[in-house]
Amino acid sequence: MSTENPAVRSVERLLEVLDLDFTQARTTEDIFVGDSHPMPTGRIYGGQVLAQSLIAAERTLPEDRAVHSMHGYFLRPGDASQGITIAVDRIHDGRSFSTRRSQAYQNGVPIFSMIASFQDEGPGVEHAEPMPSDVPAPDTLLPDEERVNGLAGGARRMLSERAADIRHIEQPLYLPGDADRTPRQGVWMRLRSPLPDDPRLHRAALAYLSDMSIQESILRAHGLFWSFPGLKVASLDHAMWWHRAARVDEWLLYVQESPNARGGRGLATGRIYTQDGVLVASVAQEIMIRVPEGTE
């Protein structure tokens, strides 16, 4: 099912990237192989390898044992022109919980390493931080690609043709313009066309989206933006906790803030809500951030 609509085609391409092949090659691990999204920088988008590593791990488990947490490290830049091999180690299977380690490889060396925990659904105590009450609805905001006058044509096209519809509540950080140095922001996001109903696919796609924009609360704190001269940013690690089920083809609010930056590193945290206020997931990521001396 292909389409000429570039945005819808980008979602189809995302589904292809997440559709890993299981190989017969095996040591003590399960081996999967997958493709990569082409990227303008030539480097693999971190959310892609997060989602692929999760999909691979979940393929070794019963469908009703769902991921509840993952902790991963980005070890090397990935080459977006090459495929990825993912090895899954079945570390532990208990009565209610399972643990898996996924490592993504290119050219024989690991580029990403993740440990994830999975649990059967069960009863228990429950509470959740409420969604902020003063957030504009997504249909009152323009898509990012319509708010970036002055951005180069290729970059603007990349925004409009990506799989996700992203709508910043504050000014998007692709260009300078927001002088308010506040280390927090809110972003509405959803995939541009419907996904199949498979909950595992929606959990993996949520991991894919969780790496988009979370670094920006750190940039905002220092008046930085993505095209700032000499700025260098790289994700170091990523942690995520899935709390409740949600569809990624429906609007989700990503509330982000940065509690700390020091020593060339910045920490960002985020909470993801459905449009009706249900807390879906929590995220934390630390990045390397380098700014030329004397430019802040």
Annotated catalytic residues are 211, 235, 285
Residues 6 or more apart whose Cβ sits within 8 Å of residue 16:
35
Contact 49, 105 (CB under 8 A): no
For residue 91 the two structure tokens come to 């570390």
Contact 62, 107 (CB under 8 A): no
User: In which residue are the tokens 């002055």 written?
Assistant: 150
CA distances from 215 to 158, 161, 183, 234, 285 (A): 19, 21, 10, 9, 8
CA distances from 157 to 20, 89, 160, 161, 162 (A): 28, 39, 5, 6, 8
Element (H, E) at 232: strand 232-242
Contact 61, 119 (CB under 8 A): no
Distance CA 7, CA 162 (A): 6
Contact 105, 111 (CB under 8 A): yes
Contact 205, 195 (CB under 8 A): yes
Contact 285, 235 (CB under 8 A): yes
Distance CA 134, CA 157 (A): 31
Residues pairing with 99 in the sheet: 92, 117
CA distances from 103 to 63, 87, 222 (A): 21, 5, 34
